[in-house]
Structure 1
Amino acid sequence: MITPTRTRARTSLTRRTALALAVLLAASAAPTVSAYAAEAPAEHVEGTLPSGAKYLMDKPANWNGTVLLFSHGYRPAGLPLAGQNASDDATKALLLDQGYALVGSSYATNGWAVTDAVPDQLATLDVFTARFGEARRTIAWGQSYGGLVTTAIAERHPGRIDGSLAMCGLVHGGVANWNNTLDPVFALKTLLAPGSSVQLTGFADQASAAAAAGTLGKTVTDAQATPEGRARIALAAALHNIPGWNDASQPEPAPDDWNAQQANQYQALQGMLSLPAFSWRQEAESRAGGNMSWNTGVDYTKMLRQSSVHKEVTELYKEAGLSLKKDLGALNRAPRISADPAAVDWMSRTSSFTGKLRKPQLTIHTTGDALVPVQVQSAYRRAATAAGSASLLRQAYVDNPGHCSFSPAEQTGALHTLEKRLDKGRWQGTDPASLNATSAAADPTTPARYIPYRPAPYPRPYDLAHPGDGR
């Protein structure tokens, strides 16, 4: 739990205090922003919602009237609950210094917890309003899985916010996410361990998921030692659009250094096998009531042609003396995995998007993200366009490897750009040069690396604006 420099009485919402909160929320004489903006001292508040979620609030002495509702990223089930109201300490300090109030909750449970996260975040806003008065403006923001939560709030509860900022978010939604997580492991099993009985979906418990991850992980480790294995690992990585430079600790490979790029992808794939593709999938399946993924009807030859790293795969196959056409044929002929319709329905209803925005949303993404590839932005753009919301959506890209590896300047610059849209009623300064200038002005001590970029098509989009896709 974070210990504040100056802390008012700790809030714990038992049944008795929840009733008092309800009375306070209903009171007509609730304090306003003006009552606090210039006079109240800085306050740090921690507490527990009736759901069990932990919340965290910081209101600076110079509150500018804007509250930022932060949704945190994925936390595996079993970890302690902890409130979080900013992406990182440096960005938090910068935003507090600029007068923003910061709030956020832990969610009542960890894991694929969208059904807890959205109501818990809205309840946290209620607590803030009851204690500090109505904000002049409310902006939802979040990173990674929290970008999914933020977009869910934006689409389903637009009356609670004025705009949203989704950073490195799963804006493609849950069905697309789990489908595309299936593709690389399906390729690894089919090409590196043909005939293996290793399980890819439908896990009974965490132990069975861990066993499958260990078996396939060892197979991949062994394959990495041969040119043929490396080529096939690159093919699997390409189906997830894993970039050849995806971690700041890796030297940036030359554009045609296929082996260095593949080595970086191998590391990212091993990370995927160790947690998301098996352990996190099993937890999500337990919520959905079954397997929510399928690859029936998928043309892997077509998918590879659309991949951002297609060229690398073709070159490594040539170097290994393998037939790419033959391996793609093996993938396309392999027995497929079907989904449980009820599980797909649950994931669709809780975690997929319509693209219908009522308030402006800005999304930012790094170009070198292996966990949530930048191509997810194409998926949400497609949904928003179909829903008639394209004018409310802007997307920007940071030239950096890694997942959510934004500087404080880049995050704050994006926030200020969204605020300009809210102030002016139209988008201004969303081009890379303007974003970099705004970011540098917000924090000249950290990098600003926005670039012109157009992501490749997302390989397996699924959204509620195109409900028949992928069936």
Structure 2
Amino acid sequence: MSEVPMFTSRPLHARPPALAVFVAAVAGLLAGCASLPSPSPVARPSPATATAPAVPAQAAPAASPCPGAVAAIARCLSGQDSAGAFYLIAVPHGWNGHLVLHAHGGPTLGAPKVERAVEDLERWQIMVRAGYAWAGSTFRQGGVEVRAAAEDTERLRQIFEQHVARPQRTILHGQSWGAGVAAKGAEMFRRTADGKRPYDAVLLTSGVLAGGTRSYDFRTDLRVVYQHLCHNHPRPAEVQYPLHIGLPADAAMTQADLTARVNECLGLDKPASERTPEQQRKVQTIVNVVRIPASSIQGHMNWATFHFRDVVQYRTGGASPFGNQGVVYQGSADDAALNAAVLRYRADPQAVARFAHDTDPTGSIPVPVLTVKGVDDPTAFVELDAQFKATMEQGGSGNRLVQTFTRHGTHSYLSDPTYPTLINALLRWVDEGTKPTPQGIASDCVALEARYGKGCAFMPGYVPAALSTRVPDRDRP
């Protein structure tokens, strides 16, 4: 997968021949569909959008081979929508009548590729195995633009209804960064043209749920602490730029280049026992101060470089919404020296406002919302969920939120029985009015292990600490 490791889903092994054949077949079908309209911009709704806008007439999806993971149990359809996003749909032969509409993590940078939807379906095959139809969009573009991705997801829902079937229930599922997309979409699209809810419930898994203006603060901290320790991003002889822009727009650096620099300084490509004492000291300083595991430093550096550039260059008018003014760093061998030496940046107020409008949830979601997060998630900190709960309460939707937590220390995928358990709970909430409890969900999961295998690890009594206990507060515009 081409996306930055931080917000990728479960790592995939090298693509098997069957998958390569499938991707080629889908690409051939799309290339041969002369009826597909050319990509065109889609009008963006205002923040108060209550009705899902009717999208331009969409070409019917084409029948396509299913990837190997679901080939024996489903039929698949694929296409490219009027805005240019590729999509893939899988309908199990024993369909239960419900649709899981998926918003993927990442985001990737660059043009959309059909492989993204294929990989998502393979990763989330549990939904199809559990009897649900599944639909996922690649989104029309790469980069950090939440509202556009929410529009692409809503467009796919309408394509499914127009050309496949009208589901009994539609569950909007957002994973990682896509959880923010799903939360924003549920706020934006509250009614269809005929007055019905476009989404009956929302499932947010391993979510980045504090919005762009808070979720990425620690990556700004990582850039300045890393530069203080390593002095090679940029090097002293190179053009010096504000670190909170990620990278200058015209910089030719690649991910391979950045990886080489990080390994040069920190030795992350070696076991800890093979690093020099100086390398290990620097790694440990970052782990202690930024509070991320060593294994995730490279991925977060990628994001704080290339995705920060995407945000500044394309989303916020050339100014940075990221800053670290007022941060007091702790955990190093000499905190006073660290705080005196790290570079400081103030977030641009207009950039913050633009980024917040696009990425920050308001907490006004009119349908049931269920979340799950591994308490040791190395990418989307569990404390983000405390911020999301506060946002939902402030937005008047606190009574429509149930949060669950697990003992998993992974981000991309928790376990097969976890997800059907959560969707079952959501459907009971919608259909019967029975609001789930963390304890009930934990019990239900164990009962499903006989069908889906071991993997339940819910912690019913867990309550995350405030985000400020994990990521230090800072001055904000």
Bigger drift between 117-126 and 215-224 goes to 215-224
Bigger drift between 417-426 and 217-226 goes to 217-226
How far apart, CA to CA, are the structure 2 residues paired with 1:450 and 1:362? 14
SS at match of 1:158: coil
Contact persistence 1:74–1:110 (CA under 8 A): no
How far apart, CA to CA, are the structure 2 residues paired with 1:62 and 1:236? 50
How far apart, CA to CA, are the structure 2 residues paired with 1:24 and 1:55? 12
2:248 is matched with which residue? 204
2:218 is matched with which residue? 180
Query: Which of 235, 257, 278 is equivalent to 2:305?
Result: 278
How far apart, CA to CA, are the structure 2 residues paired with 1:61 and 1:411? 20
1:375 is matched with which residue? 383
SS at match of 2:216: helix
Query: Which of 451, 454, 461 is equivalent to 2:459?
Result: 451
Instruction: Verify: 1:154 aligned to 2:154, yes or no.
Output: no
Q: Deviations over 1:261-289 (max 9, x none)?
A: xxxx223213322x212122222222222
Q: How has the CA–CA distance of structure 1 residues 181 and 122 changed in structure 2, closer, same or farther, with 3 Å as cutoff?
A: same
Q: How has the CA–CA distance of structure 1 residues 8 and 218 changed in structure 2, closer, same or farther, with 3 Å as cutoff?
A: closer
Instruction: Verify: 1:47 aligned to 2:74, yes or no.
Output: no
How much is the aligned-residue C-alpha RMSD, in angstroms? Answer: 3.7
Displacement after TM superposition at 1:52 (Å): 0.8
1:219 is matched with which residue? 265
How far apart, CA to CA, are the structure 2 residues paired with 1:287 and 1:439? 45
Contact persistence 2:405–2:459 (CA under 8 A): yes
SS at match of 2:402: strand
How far apart, CA to CA, are the structure 1 residues paired with 2:339 and 2:380? 23
Q: Give the total of aligned pairs.
A: 402
1:297 is matched with which residue? 326
SS at match of 1:368: coil
Q: How has the CA–CA distance of structure 1 residues 449 and 11 changed in structure 2, closer, same or farther, with 3 Å as cutoff?
A: farther
Q: Deviations over 1:160-185 (max 9, x none)?
A: 21111111111111121232211122
What is the identity, as a one-letter code, of the residue corresponding to 2:223? Answer: V
What is the identity, as a one-letter code, of the residue corresponding to 1:139? Answer: I
How far apart, CA to CA, are the structure 2 residues paired with 1:158 and 1:296? 38
Q: Deviations over 1:2-47 (max 9, x none)?
A: 569xx999867634999xx96799xxxxxxxxxxxxxxx9642111
How far apart, CA to CA, are the structure 2 residues paired with 1:348 and 1:120? 20
Q: How has the CA–CA distance of structure 1 residues 235 and 408 changed in structure 2, closer, same or farther, with 3 Å as cutoff?
A: same
SS at match of 2:467: coil
Q: How has the CA–CA distance of structure 1 residues 394 and 228 changed in structure 2, closer, same or farther, with 3 Å as cutoff?
A: farther
1:437 is matched with which residue? 446
Contact persistence 1:189–1:196 (CA under 8 A): no
Q: How has the CA–CA distance of structure 1 residues 382 and 238 changed in structure 2, closer, same or farther, with 3 Å as cutoff?
A: farther
How far apart, CA to CA, are the structure 2 residues paired with 1:52 and 1:88? 19
Query: Which of 321, 329, 344 is equivalent to 1:336?
Result: 344
What is the identity, as a one-letter code, of the residue corresponding to 2:36? Answer: T
What is the identity, as a one-letter code, of the residue corresponding to 2:328? Answer: D
Displacement after TM superposition at 1:130 (Å): 0.8
How far apart, CA to CA, are the structure 2 residues paired with 1:187 and 1:137? 47
Query: Which of 347, 360, 368 is equivalent to 2:355?
Result: 347
How far apart, CA to CA, are the structure 1 residues paired with 2:304 and 2:379? 11
Instruction: Verify: 1:103 aligned to 2:112, yes or no.
Output: no
SS at match of 1:300: coil
SS at match of 2:171: strand
How far apart, CA to CA, are the structure 1 residues paired with 2:35 and 2:178? 24
How far apart, CA to CA, are the structure 1 residues paired with 2:107 and 2:267? 26
What is the identity, as a one-letter code, of the residue corresponding to 2:204? Answer: A
Contact persistence 2:347–2:476 (CA under 8 A): no
Q: How has the CA–CA distance of structure 1 residues 142 and 380 changed in structure 2, closer, same or farther, with 3 Å as cutoff?
A: same
What is the identity, as a one-letter code, of the residue corresponding to 1:186? Answer: V
SS at match of 2:417: helix
What is the identity, as a one-letter code, of the residue corresponding to 1:166? Answer: L
2:202 is matched with which residue? 164
How far apart, CA to CA, are the structure 1 residues paired with 2:339 and 2:34? 54
2:3 is matched with which residue? none
Displacement after TM superposition at 1:388 (Å): 2.8
Gaps of 5+ in 2: 1-21, 41-54, 60-72, 192-197
How far apart, CA to CA, are the structure 2 residues paired with 1:124 and 1:12? 20
How far apart, CA to CA, are the structure 2 residues paired with 1:209 and 1:338? 25
Contact persistence 2:208–2:380 (CA under 8 A): yes
Q: TM-score, normalised by structure 2?
A: 0.73
Q: How has the CA–CA distance of structure 1 residues 232 and 65 changed in structure 2, closer, same or farther, with 3 Å as cutoff?
A: same
Gaps of 5+ in 1: 26-40, 243-264, 302-312, 463-467
Query: Which of 279, 284, 304 is equivalent to 1:234?
Result: 284
How far apart, CA to CA, are the structure 2 residues paired with 1:56 and 1:69? 11
Q: How has the CA–CA distance of structure 1 residues 269 and 345 changed in structure 2, closer, same or farther, with 3 Å as cutoff?
A: same
What is the identity, as a one-letter code, of the residue corresponding to 2:325? Answer: T
How far apart, CA to CA, are the structure 2 residues paired with 1:186 and 1:16? 43
Q: How has the CA–CA distance of structure 1 residues 240 and 409 changed in structure 2, closer, same or farther, with 3 Å as cutoff?
A: farther
What is the identity, as a one-letter code, of the residue corresponding to 1:190? Answer: H
How far apart, CA to CA, are the structure 1 residues paired with 2:92 and 2:145? 30
Higher helix share: 1
